[in-house]
Amino acid sequence: MQSETILILGAGGQIGTELTMELRKVHGGANVVASDIRAAAPIVMESGPFETVDASDPKRIAEVIDQYKVTQVYHLVALLSATSERIGIPAWHLNMNSLFEVMELCVSRGIKKMFWPSSIAVFGPTTPKANVPQQTVIEPTTIYGMSKYAGELWCDYYFKKKGLDVRSIRYPGLIGYKSAPGGGTTDYAVEIFYAAKQSKQYTCFLNAESRLPMMYMPDAIRATLQLMDAPADKLSIRHSYNITGIDFTPAELATAIQQEIPDFKIDYNPDFRQAIADSWPGSIDGSWAKKDWGWVPQYDLQGMVKDMLLNIPVPATV
């Protein structure tokens, strides 16, 4: 295998933490440069190089690329749906400008391969609700969704016009225990596990019937590595791939948790995030990812619930 030096922007985030560790297993700790605007989890800081990088500062990104002679970039920095709605236009600027800058740096530095995450947030109220096909009506109504969709178009453009082998996945809501999400609409599906383990009670900020596409983090990381390893000529989608995971409602997730913790209780107090969830579909058809690079998820709802509850730390006894 040709040796790679990988730069991860946003290595302290929910995906970045786990992806950094997996990539270090494959490529060796020293060959995966983690970066973020602030310190990442100790495991990331201690297992290989870490650089403080503000993704809105292209000079600093260039400096790190040159210092380490980077050959691949995973650009994971973004403000998620709920945070982007809260802060407005600056979220658009961060999400979009950092993507342009990183793609331009890849082109100018001869970096051929890049990963950039998109999201099921690209879909909007006019998208079919169930089994959303790869190509469909895409009219997002959130700032985050608009930035992801515009970004997908730019990925396709850079691939076609500038030969940058940029690859992307439309991640569903991601659930894991090694790193916390922040500012997303699907974050309830992580919070609920900590509440179940700690107080056996959770008040959900979405209503009981909000069905959303989700995925357990080990599947998401495996999908990412699998897509990045796939032969370029097999990839027919250069915007971003739909991938199949699991879909459930808060009520269904609560029932699955109650099978493990029978006295767990949930109630509902929807806030502004309900409107965001209502604009997104409930399930995704990932048949292009399956056909092009063999994507098949491993975790179902109960498998994910069991594994989460097993791995979340038990609360300290007082």
Give the distance, in angstroms, between the CA of residue 78 and the centroid of all CA atoms in the same chain. Answer: 10
147 belongs to the binding site for ligand SER (CB under 6 A): no
Measured from the Cβ of residue 25, the count of other Cβ atoms closer than 10 Å reads 12
Catalytic site residue 188?
no
Distance CA 156, CA 240 (A): 8
Contact flag: residue 140 with ligand SER (CB under 6 A): no
| Residue carrying the six token digits 């991640």 | 171
Under the binding rule (CB under 6 A), the answer on residue 241 touching ligand SER is: no
13 is an interface residue for ligand SER by CB under 6 A: no
Helices (H), ranges, the chain: 14-27, 42-46, 58-68, 81-87, 89-109, 143-162, 188-198, 217-229, 250-258, 273-279, 287-293, 301-311
Amino acid at 237: I
- Which residue's C-beta sits nearest to ligand SER? 184
Considering the rule CB under 6 A, would residue 218 count as an interface residue with ligand SER? no
Q: Rounded to an integer, what distance in angstroms lies between the CA atom of residue 95 and that of residue 114? A: 16
Contact 215, 283 (CB under 8 A): no
Residue 242 contacts ligand SER per CB under 6 A: no
Min. distance of Cβ 20 from ligand SER in angstroms? 19
The two tokens of residue 210 are 């909000």
Closer of 65 and 204 to ligand SER (Cβ): 204
Residue 185 in contact with ligand SER, rule: CB under 6 A = yes
Interface characters, 46-85, with ligand SER (x: CB under 6 A): ----------------------------------xx----
Query: Shortest Cβ distance from residue 11 to ligand SER (Å)?
Result: 18
- Interior CA angle at 223 toward 233 and 208, to 5°? 135
CB 82, min distance to ligand SER, A: 6
Q: Please tell me the count of residues contacting ligand SER according to CB under 6 A.
A: 11
Between the two ends of the chain, the Cα-to-Cα distance in Å is: 52
Query: At its nearest, how many Å lie between ligand SER and the CB of residue 185?
Result: 4
How distant, in Å, are the alpha carbons of 48, 91, 96, 205, 223 from that of 86?
Answer: 34, 9, 17, 16, 30
Residue 121 C-beta: closest distance to ligand SER, Å: 5
68, 74, 144, 241: the catalytic one is 144
Decide: residue 14, CB within 10 A, 0-12 exposed, 13-18 middle, 19+ buried: buried
* Under 8 Å between Cβ of 4 and 41: no
- The distance of closest approach from Cβ of residue 174 to ligand SER in the complex, given in angstroms and rounded to an integer, is 6
- Rank residues 119 and 240 by Cβ distance to ligand SER and give the closer one: 119
Taking CB under 6 A as the rule, does residue 184 contact ligand SER?
yes
Q: Does 186 bind ligand SER (CB under 6 A)?
A: yes
| Residue the block writes with tokens 């260039």 | 62
Is position 171 an interface residue for ligand SER (rule: CB under 6 A)?
A: yes
Closer by beta carbon to ligand SER, 45 or else 138: 138
Among 10, 12, 48, 173, binds ligand SER (CB under 6 A): 173
Task: Kindly list the catalytic residues.
Answer: 144
- Chain residues binding ligand SER by CB under 6 A are 80-81, 119-121, 144, 171, 173, 184-186
